[in-house]
C-alpha cells in the first residue's frame, strides 16, 4: 500500500537522513520526497511517499515521531488532504503531431514552458494522479526527459 | 560568565551534570579536551577519568557504570579509529537502553569531508544506533549541546547519544554559562499516565484467572522495582523477568517464576505461555523470549506498560496499551487496584499451585561428571557470595552467560549486568570495571567465557591501575561454547572454527600480567577454597581470576530452538538420549 507522510522537522543537519534511514533499514524505497519551508521559521515540512506494509508503517511512524528533531508526523489520506505535484516533460513533437499534443495539454491544464522545432517542454501542476494520466497519454509520442517534484500536501481547509 | 576554551567548557559541562567518572582514550582530535581535564584536575576538580585500553572497553565501562548506578555513563574517544572502536558499545547501549553520552573529537571544521587524517563521519556511522547525535563546530554551542545530550540520554526510554566536537571548536573560546533548560521542541517523551487505561488494566488484572507479570529491563531503567514488588504482593500475581530484567524482582521471592525464553526455565516458559493475562512491563517481546510469535502465550490478553510508544504493538498486539513512564504508571495501578479490590482477596491460587507444581516438576538440572561442570561453578560462586552485602554480576556472552542467568540469584535491581540485545562477547570485564567505579563498595564479579576473555581481558590492566578490583570467574570450556552447542545439536557435530583449545593462552599468566591474582581450578574439591580466597584478595584490593577448567561438552538446557515455541523445549539429557536412540 502506498502512503503519504507529512513530517514537520526542525531545520537541522541530519534530520532527513535520520528519517530516511528508518525506511532504508527495512529495505523500503522512498518513492517521492519533497522538503521545503513552512510558515514557521526554522521548521521544514517533509512530504514523502512510500510503498510499505501497514504494520511497518505504524512502527516507522512511531519511530519517526521519537526522533529529536521531529515535531510532528501525520499521514495524509486522499480524502482529507489536498495533494499537488509539479512535473516537466520534454516530449518529442514533430510539427505534424503538435496539434494532438496541444489538445491533451489543454485538456489537462498543462502549459508549454519551452518549445523547439522537434520537441515541447510541458509544465504541469496538479494532483499527482492527473500527472500520471498526462504522462501516460504523451508517452507514445516519446518522452525524452521528465522530472517530478514529488508530491506535497496539506490537510483540507477547516469547513466550520 | 567565564571566558574559556571549548575544551574547558566540555569539562565544565560534565562537572555541571554531576559526572564523577568518565571512561576513555585520548588522541589527536580530543587532546585539547584531555588537556583541559588535566588542568581541571590539577586545580582540584573531582572529575575522574579511567583510561581504558581500548575504546570499546571504555564504552562498556560507561555502560557498566550506568547500569550499576542508574546515572548516565560517559565515554570519550578521539576521531576516526577512536570513534569506530566505540561503536560496538554504542550499539550495545542502544539495544539494552543504557543511558550513555559519548563524546568524540572530530577533525577541524575546515577539514571535514576531505578524508583528513583520522576523519570518519562519526554521526553518520552511528546514526541508526543513537537516540540522537550532534556535530558541534562552534565552541559557543558546547554547553547547550552537552546539556541536551544528557537530557535526551536519560529521558523517555534511555539510551546512547553522541556528541562529536571538532578540534577547532575545542580550541576556540566562548563565554561559558551552563544553561538551566534544554531547548528541544521535538523531544517529548510521555510523562502522563492515562487513567482510563489504568482502570481498564486493574479490572483485567482482577478478572484474570491466570495472570502473570512479564518484566523487562525497563523496570530497572524506570526505577520501578519497588512498585512491582508491591503490586505482585498485593495481587499475588507471579512474575517472570527477562535477561535484562533480572534482579528487577527479588529472585528469592515465592512469587518469582524465573526467566523465560530460549534458555529460560521450563516452568517460566510454561507459566508465561499458559497465562490468560500477560502484564508486560518495560519489555519488548524479544524473539529470544517469544520464539515463534504466533504460538507465544496464545490465550493471553496483553497489558503493555512501556515508555516507548514504538514498542507497543510492535511484536504482539496489546489490548490495553499504557504508554507512560513505568514508575508513576505502576503507582497509579497500585492505587486503582486498592480501590477496586475487595477485602481478603486471595489471588489466583489455582494458578499459583499449578506454577508451583511445574517448578517442582521441571527444576534446572545437570549431572556431575569427571570434569568440573560449569553449573557447578556457578552454584559454588552463588553460594559463597550469599551472605555478602552488595554483589554486582556482569557476564560475557555465550553459554556461561546463560548458566549465570539460570543459577545466580539476584534480589536487587542493578545487580545483574549483561549484554542482552546485542549479545556482545567481551562485554563482561569492562562492564565490571565500570560497575566497580560506580559502586566501589560492592563485590563485582564477572562470569566470563574463554572466548570472551580473549576479547577484552586487557581491561584487567585498567582495573589494576585504577584501583577498580574485580573478580573474573572464567568458565574455561576450551570452546566458543554456545556456537559449539549449535554445531553439535543442529549442524551434525561439524565443529567449524569453535575450538579454542591448545597450549596457549595461559589464562592465569595473562591475568597475572595484567596485575591480577590468578588461580586455576580443575576439580570441585578446589573450588570453594579458591572462591573464598578470591573474595579475600578482592576485598584487599586485588583483581582476581578464577580460571575454572570445565567440561567442553556441557550444553545449556533447557533450550527452545530458534523460532520454535515452548512446546518444543529440549530438556537436559533428552538430546543425548535422542542421539543414543539414533545410534542404535
Ligand atoms: C563479538 C561477538 N562475536 C561473535 C559472537 C557469536 N557468539 C555468540 S556466543 C559465542 C561463543 C562465546 O564463547 P565463550 O566466551 O568461550 O563462551 P561459552 O559459550 O564457551 O561459554 C560466539 C562466538 C558474539 N556474540 N559476539
Ligand atoms: Mg568457552
Active site residues per annotation of B: 55, 117-118, 167, 482
Q: Is the CB of B423 under 6 A from ligand 1?
A: yes
Q: How confident is the model at residue B573 (pLDDT cuts 50, 70, 90)?
A: confident
CATH class of A2-76: alpha beta
Residues B445, B313 share a domain: no
pLDDT single digits (tens) B359-393: 999 999 999 999 999 999 999 999 999 989 899 99
Give the model's pLDDT for residue A138.
96
Look at A63 and B310 and tell me if their CB atoms are within 8 Å.
yes
Higher pLDDT, A55 or B328: B328
Decide if pLDDT at B579 tops 80: no
Q: Are B278 and B550 in contact (CB under 8 A)?
A: no
The answer to whether residue B581 sits within a structural domain is no
Question: Does a structural domain hold residue B185?
Answer: no
Alpha helices by DSSP H, B213-306: 218-221, 225-235, 266-274, 287-290
Q: Which of B128, B156, B308 sits opposite A25 (nearest CB)?
A: B128
- Average per-residue pLDDT for chain A: 95
pLDDT for B110: 97
- Are B353 and B287 part of one and the same domain? yes
Q: What's the whole-model pTM score?
A: 0.96
- Structural domain including B448 reads 374-556
Domain shared by B211 and B150, yes or no: no
**In a domain? residue B122:** yes
Same domain, B52 and B14: yes
Q: What percent of chain B has pLDDT over 90?
A: 95
The residue whose CB lies within 8 Å of the most ligand 1 atoms, and thus the one to mutate among B374, B431, B451, is B451
| pLDDT of amino acid B583 | 67
Centroid of ligand 2 to alpha carbon of B483 (angstroms): 9
pLDDT digits (tens, 9 = 90+) for B139-195: 999 999 999 999 999 999 999 999 999 999 999 999 999 999 999 999 999 999 999
Residue with the bigger pLDDT between B577 and A4: it is: A4
C-beta of B87 in contact with ligand 1 (< 6 A): no
Rounded CA Rg of chain A: 18
Do B423 and B461 sit in the same domain of this protein? Answer: yes
**Distance from C-alpha of A35 to C-alpha of B437, rounded to nearest angstrom:** 47
d(CA B258, CA B383): 18
- Answer whether A25 sits within 8 Å of B135, measured CB to CB: no
The CATH number linked to B49 is: 3.40.50.970
pLDDT on residue B284: 96
Q: Residues B64-121: pLDDT tens digits?
A: 999 999 999 999 999 999 999 999 999 999 999 999 999 999 999 999 999 999 999 9
Chain centroid offset of residue B372 CA: 28
* Boundary residue ending a domain (B308, B339, B361): B361
CB B309 within 8 A of CB A66: yes
Same domain flag for B324 and B378: no
- pLDDT at site B502: 78
Q: What is the pLDDT of residue B349?
A: 94
Alpha carbon of B451 to ligand 2 centroid (Å): 5
Determine the atom of ligand 1 nearest the C-alpha atom of B500: 16
Sequence-separated (6 or more) residues with CB below 8 Å from residue B134 = B123, B145, B148, B149, B161, B162, B163, B164
Within a domain: residue B111? yes
Q: How big is the CA angle at B397 (ends B86 and B152), to the nearest 5 degrees?
A: 40
* B245 lies in the same domain as B138: no
Instruction: Return residue ranges of chain A for CATH 3.30.70.1150.
Output: 82-155
Instruction: Please check the confidence at residue B576 and state whether its pLDDT lies above 80.
Output: no
pLDDT at B344 exceeding the cut of 80? no
- Prediction ipTM score: 0.92
At B410, the pLDDT band (50, 70, 90 cuts) reads: very high
Cβ of B478 less than 6 Å from ligand 1: no
Q: Give distance in angstroms: CA of B41 to centre of ligand 1.
A: 39
Q: Rounded to a whole number, what is the distance in angstroms from the first to the last CA of chain B?
A: 84
Asked if residue B344 and residue B385 are part of one domain, the reply reads: no
The interaxial angle of helices A98-108 and A128-138, nearest 10 deg, is 170
Check whether B39 has a pLDDT greater than 70: yes
Facing A62 at nearest CB: one of B133, B186, B309: B309
Q: How far apart are CA B157 and CA B222, in angstroms?
A: 8
Of B302, B335, B361, the residue at which a domain comes to its end is B361
Over the stretch B180-227, which tens digit does the pLDDT of each residue have? 999 999 999 999 999 999 999 999 999 999 999 999 999 999 999 999
Mean pLDDT calculated for residue range A69-94: 96
Instruction: Name the grid cell of B409.
Output: 540469584
Q: Give the pLDDT confidence score for residue A2 in this predicted structure.
A: 93
Q: Are residues B209 and B114 in the same domain?
A: no
Do B379 and B339 reside in the same domain of the chain? no
- Residue A160 pLDDT more than 90? no
Q: Do A10 and B185 touch (CB under 8 A)?
A: yes
- CA–CA gap between residue B482 and residue B494 (Å, rounded): 14
Does B578 have pLDDT greater than 90? no
CATH architecture, domain defined by A82-155:
2-Layer Sandwich (3.30)
pLDDT at A71 over 80: yes
Nearest to A73 by CA among A3, A129, A127: A3
- Residue A89: beta bridge partners? A122, A146
Share of chain B above pLDDT 70, in %: 99
In the predicted structure, residue B584 carries a pLDDT above the cut 70? no
Q: How many domains does chain B have?
A: 3
Cβ distance A65 to B187 less than 8 Å, yes or no, reads no
Please tell me whether residues B42 and B163 are part of one structural domain.
yes
Mean pLDDT, all residues of chain B? 96
Write down which residue in B144, B176, B208 finishes a domain. Answer: B176
pLDDT above 70 (res B581): no
B572 belongs to a structural domain: no
Q: Answer whether B396 contacts ligand 1 (Cβ < 6 A).
A: yes
pLDDT of the residue at B263? 96
The reply to whether B582 falls in a domain is no
How does pLDDT run across A14-36, given as a tens digit for each residue?
A: 999 999 999 999 999 999 999 99
Ligand nearest to the CA of B400: 1
The three-class DSSP label of residue B333 is helix
Q: Count CA within 13 A, CB hemisphere, residue B519.
A: 22
In this predicted model, what pLDDT tens digit does every residue of B295-314 receive, in sequence order?
999 999 999 999 999 999 99
Domain membership flag for residue B578: no
The CATH number for B331's domain is: 3.40.50.1220
Above 70 in pLDDT, residue A58? yes
- Selection from B433, B392, B423 nearest residue B288 by Cα: B423
* Residues above pLDDT 70, as percent of chain A: 100
Question: Is there a single domain that holds both residue B206 and residue B294?
Answer: yes
Amino acid at each position: 500500500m502506498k502512503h503519504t507522510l507529512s513530517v514537520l522537522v526542525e531545520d537541522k543537519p541530519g534530520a532527513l537522513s535520520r528519517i530516511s534511514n528508518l525506511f532504508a533499514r527495512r529495505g523500503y524505497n522512498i518513492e517521492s520526497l519533497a522538503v521545503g519551508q513552512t510558515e514557521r521559521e526554522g521548521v521544514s515540512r517533509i512530504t514523502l511517499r512510500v510503498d510499505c506494509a501497514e504494520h511497518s508503517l505504524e512502527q516507522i511512524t512511531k519511530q519517526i515521531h521519537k526522533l529529536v528533531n521531529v515535531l510532528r508526523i501525520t499521514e495524509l489520506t486522499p480524502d482529507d488532504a489536498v495533494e499537488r505535484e509539479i512535473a516537466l516533460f520534454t516530449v518529442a513533437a514533430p510539427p505534424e503531431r503538435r496539434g494532438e499534443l496541444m489538445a491533451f495539454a489543454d485538456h489537462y491544464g498543462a502549459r508549454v514552458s519551452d518549445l523547439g522545432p522537434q520537441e515541447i517542454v510541458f509544465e504541469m501542476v496538479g494532483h499527482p494522479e492527473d500527472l500520471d494520466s498526462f504522462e501516460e497519454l504523451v508517452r507514445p509520442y516519446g518522452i525524452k526527459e521528465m522530472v517530478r517534484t514529488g508530491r506535497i500536501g496539506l490537510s483540507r481547509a477547516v469547513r466550520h | 560568565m567565564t571566558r574559556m576554551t571549548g575544551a574547558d567548557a566540555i569539562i565544565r559541562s560534565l562537572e555541571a551534570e554531576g559526572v564523577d567518572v568518565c571512561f576513555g582514550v585520548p588522541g589527536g582530535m580530543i587532546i585539547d579536551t584531555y588537556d583541559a581535564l588535566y588542568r581541571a584536575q590539577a586545580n582540584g576538580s573531582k572529575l575522574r577519568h579511567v583510561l581504558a585500553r581500548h575504546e570499546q572497553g571504555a564504552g562498556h565501562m560507561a555502560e557498566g557504570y550506568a547500569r550499576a548506578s542508574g546515572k548516565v555513563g560517559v565515554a570519550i574517544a578521539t576521531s576516526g579509529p577512536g570513534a569506530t572502536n566505540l561503536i560496538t558499545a554504542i550499539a550495545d547501549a542502544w539495544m539494552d537502553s543504557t543511558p550513555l553520552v559519548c563524546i568524540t573529537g572530530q577533525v577541524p571544521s575546515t577539514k571535514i569531508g576531505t578524508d583528513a587524517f583520522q576523519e570518519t563521519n562519526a554521526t553518520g556511522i552511528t546514526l541508526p544506533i543513537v537516540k540522537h547525535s550532534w556535530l558541534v563546530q562552534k565552541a559557543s554551542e558546547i554547553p547547550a549541546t552537552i546539556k541536551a545530550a544528557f537530557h535526551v540520554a536519560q529521558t523517555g526510554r534511555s539510551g546512547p547519544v553522541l556528541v562529536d566536537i571538532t578540534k577547532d571548536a575545542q580550541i576556540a573560546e566562548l563565554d561559558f554559562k551552563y544553561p538551566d533548560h534544554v531547548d528541544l521542541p521535538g523531544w517529548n517523551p510521555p510523562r502522563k499516565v492515562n487513567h482510563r487505561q489504568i482502570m481498564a488494566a486493574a479490572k483485567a488484572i482482577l478478572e484474570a484467572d491466570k495472570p502473570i507479570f512479564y518484566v523487562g529491563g525497563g523496570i530497572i531503567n524506570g526505577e520501578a522495582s519497588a512498585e512491582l514488588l508491591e503490586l505482585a504482593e498485593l495481587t499475588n500475581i507471579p512474575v517472570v523477568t527477562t535477561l535484562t530484567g533480572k534482579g528487577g524482582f527479588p529472585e528469592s521471592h515465592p512469587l518469582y517464576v524465573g526467566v523465560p525464553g530460549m534458555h529460560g526455565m521450563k516452568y517460566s516458559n510454561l507459566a508465561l505461555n499458559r497465562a490468560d493475562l500477560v502484564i508486560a512491563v518495560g519489555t519488548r517481546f524479544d524473539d529470544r523470549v517469544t520464539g515463534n510469535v504466533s504460538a507465544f502465550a496464545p490465550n493471553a490478553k496483553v497489558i503493555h506498560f512501556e515508555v516507548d510508544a514504538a514498542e507497543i504493538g510492535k511484536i504482539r498486539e496489546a489490548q490495553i496499551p499504557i504508554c507512560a513512564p513505568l514508575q508513576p504508571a505502576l503507582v497509579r495501578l497500585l492505587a486503582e487496584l486498592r480501590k477496586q479490590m475487595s477485602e481478603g482477596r486471595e489471588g489466583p491460587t489455582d494458578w499459583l499451585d499449578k506454577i508451583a507444581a511445574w517448578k517442582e516438576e521441571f527444576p534446572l538440572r545437570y549431572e556431575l561428571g569427571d570434569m568440573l561442570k560449569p553449573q557447578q561453578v556457578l552454584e559454588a560462586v552463588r553460594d559463597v557470595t550469599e551472605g555478602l552485602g552488595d554483589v554486582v554480576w556482569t557476564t560475557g556472552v555465550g553459554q556461561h552467560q546463560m548458566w549465570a542467568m539460570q543459577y545466580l540469584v539476584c534480589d536487587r535491581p542493578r545487580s545483574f549486568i549483561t549484554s542482552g540485545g546485542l549479545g556482545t562477547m567481551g562485554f563482561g570485564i569492562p562492564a565490571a570495571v565500570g560497575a566497580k567505579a560506580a559502586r566501589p563498595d560492592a563485590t563485582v564479579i564477572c562470569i566470563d567465557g574463554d572466548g570472551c576473555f580473549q576479547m577484552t581481558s586487557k581491561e584487567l590492566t585498567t582495573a589494576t591501575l585504577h584501583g577498580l578490583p574485580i573478580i573474573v570467574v572464567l568458565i574455561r570450556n576450551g570452546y566458543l561454547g554456545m556456537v559449539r552447542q549449535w554445531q553439535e545439536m543442529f549442524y551434525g557435530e561439524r565443529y567449524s572454527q569453535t575450538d579454542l583449545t591448545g597450549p596457549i593462552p595461559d589464562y592465569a599468566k595473562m591475568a597475572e600480567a595484567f596485575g591480577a591474582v590468578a588461580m586455576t581450578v580443575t576439580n570441585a574439591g578446589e573450588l570453594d577454597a579458591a572462591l573464598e580466597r578470591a573474595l579475600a584478595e578482592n576485598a584487599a584490593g586485588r583483581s582476581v581470576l578464577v580460571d575454572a577448567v570445565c567440561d567442553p561438552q556441557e550444553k545449556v538446557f533447557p533450550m527452545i530452538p530458534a523460532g520454535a515455541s515452548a512446546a518444543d523445549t529440549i530438556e537436559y539429557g533428552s538430546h543425548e538420549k535422542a542421539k543414543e536412540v539414533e545410534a542404535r
